[in-house]
Structure 1
Amino acid sequence: MTPLLFLLASVAGGIGAGLRYVVDAGVMTLTRGRFPWGIVVVNVTGAFALGVLTASIPDAVTIVGAGLLGGYTTFSTAMLDALALWRDGERPASIGHVIGTFAASILAAIGGLGVGMML
């Protein structure tokens, strides 16, 4: 990796993290619930976008995939949300969040690959 590629991926990661905050906050404002729908939306849309990118523009995977989408998506926050639900006694929601986020993200990535192959 060249220094320029590293710099571009780093900047893209910062932009992705900012986008994550905006999307998460926006979705949570709309849903107004305890369940972390914002992070679910972030991770599923990020998985879909990475699928599209991987199939259609593989040369952009380092900057846009690892950088932007790596900063945008967040497995660690999803797990913190699941632990908070568990701690608060919402165990079915916690389990559903973990399994649902994983399954939806895999399906979104596969769908993104399909879309990307058509582009």
Structure 2
Amino acid sequence: TLAAYGQSKLANILHAGELARRFKEEGVNITANSLHPGSILTNLLRNRGIIYAIERTLGKLLLKNIQQGAATQCYVALHPGAKGVSGKYWSDSNLYEPSAKAKDAELGKKLWDYTLDLVAA
């Protein structure tokens, strides 16, 4: 569902923020960021019949192609303008301000700790 998708994206942003904080605290010279690649025309819906046909038709007009969808990841990984930037959220190769909940450091720490408990179980 759309709600689960939104929660997964929130978790990605929170996790990257907490990871960046931990790297900085430990003096590790690694960056951690999150990003939104945009809506991309892929074959994920290939088994959905008419929905896939509609996506293929309208998607060519409304969605990014795979190369366009990869642009922000490549920018954050390789562009000198992103060097040293950590704990941020990117969209369309630009810094983007996420929701207040996504910037909640305490929530990020709680998610981190909860995840550790799940993995240890």
TM-score over 0.5 for the pair: no
Structure 1 or 2: larger helix share? Answer: 1
Structure 1 or 2: larger strand share? Answer: 2
Q: What TM-score comes out, normalization by structure 1 length?
A: 0.25
Q: What TM-score comes out, normalization by structure 2 length?
A: 0.25
Larger radius of gyration: 2
